[in-house]
Structure 1
């Protein structure tokens, strides 16, 4: 089974090189797929929307293209192959495949699964993983999921495992992504991408700090 690694936008550009090194280290034994968040490029888009009147459709297209740009960056830094179709993504197994999603996502009909104003990069990653039947690792800048925001509640409990249906409070994974995880029954792990060795150890079946989200 393939594993889709979502590199959060908060990890780009500072942590891209060590993450790519970790992915290369395990690629010989695992079918690794990669998708990147929009990060600072989407922050620019949000700033534009404060001063310009942009439709949801235009903002969505620009956000997806931001993910494409980071896919180009990750492919270049990692020496990976970039794929623009799901068929290419599943066919090539020699090195990690980086998915640039615009060709697929910008041609999908808008419906209950693709709702423009709710489609964050985490949601898109869960959607793609479900579509491919892949496991999902969300690499972000936190260790995982807590019972509450630890910045607000200092004694918040770290959750090593949680059911998606129980994630009713704000976390590092947005609510729409959780809905997509449930909708597509995606096995998901959230871990700290600023410590890329955790990714290597996890892929090798060793215990690491992180949170498993069970679809239900």
Structure 2
């Protein structure tokens, strides 16, 4: 099982359908898909700043933006099967589907270590991968990725959230970070388990 996280900022990107087609074609039985909150989550940040609300409320609102974007991805590609419970991910994969996770179980009544902006959807996807004992995590970002940078440097560059580094060091699984135009890189990972030098565009 792999966890693939599509950045919410790709929800308005013309390349999004191609990514979803690729996942639908090659991810059946092996991919748990997570979508970030994107511009909807940015609106939550702005509202929190405007009204000075607490992080717990902002966390719950941001989780719901991920749920909304999952509905969008399912509408664009119904082969991606919506699941609202982690317990339903493995059965969906066993039936040969791609499990499109809606993280409703992350809604909280009390704050915990993840209910803050240090941990965004990248960290949420990594935490899910750890809970599922996933073999690999792939993050698809809208920005250009400098392949020479390690995870900590990508955190410093604000490509990844502040909480990602410590979680990644404890994860014990390969983490691949691709940019929006590297669909061929994901294809090669899914087919061959590794990327070649020519897999930087697609």
Counterpart mapping for 1:18-29 below 5 A:
18-28=18-28
Task: Report the CA distance shift for 1:196/1:118 in structure 2 as closer, same or farther (over 3 A).
Answer: same
Deviation at 1:171, TM superposition (A): 4.6
1:194 aligns with 2:181: yes
Deviation at 1:55, TM superposition (A): 1.3
- Structure 2 gaps, min length 5: none
Task: Report the CA distance shift for 1:66/1:165 in structure 2 as closer, same or farther (over 3 A).
Answer: closer
Q: Deviations over 1:149-187 (max 9, x none)?
A: xxxxxxxxx427x4x567673252223112212233332
Report the 3-state secondary structure (helix = DSSP H, G, I; strand = E; otherwise coil) of the residue aligned with 2:156. coil
Equivalent residue, structure 2, for 1:181: 168
Distance 1:56 1:200 in 2: 37
Distance 2:38 2:168 in 1: 21
Deviation at 1:54, TM superposition (A): 1.3
Equivalent residue, structure 1, for 2:101: 99
Counterpart mapping for 1:21-60 below 5 A:
21-28=21-28, 31-60=30-59
Number of matched pairs: 193
How high is the TM-score relative to the length of structure 2?
0.84
Q: Is the 8 A contact 1:123 1:176 kept in 2?
A: yes
Deviation at 1:125, TM superposition (A): 0.7
Report the 3-state secondary structure (helix = DSSP H, G, I; strand = E; otherwise coil) of the residue aligned with 2:66. helix
Report the 3-state secondary structure (helix = DSSP H, G, I; strand = E; otherwise coil) of the residue aligned with 2:74. helix
Counterpart mapping for 1:50-129 below 5 A:
50-79=49-78, 80-93=80-93, 94-102=96-104, 104-107=105-108, 110-112=111-113, 114-129=114-129
Distance 2:191 2:30 in 1: 13
Task: Report the CA distance shift for 1:208/1:105 in structure 2 as closer, same or farther (over 3 A).
Answer: farther
How high is the TM-score relative to the length of structure 1?
0.79
Distance 2:128 2:53 in 1: 26
- Structure 1 gaps, min length 5: 147-157, 211-216
Greater mean deviation of Cα atoms: 133-142 or 169-178: 169-178
Distance 1:47 1:165 in 2: 27
Distance 1:125 1:50 in 2: 25
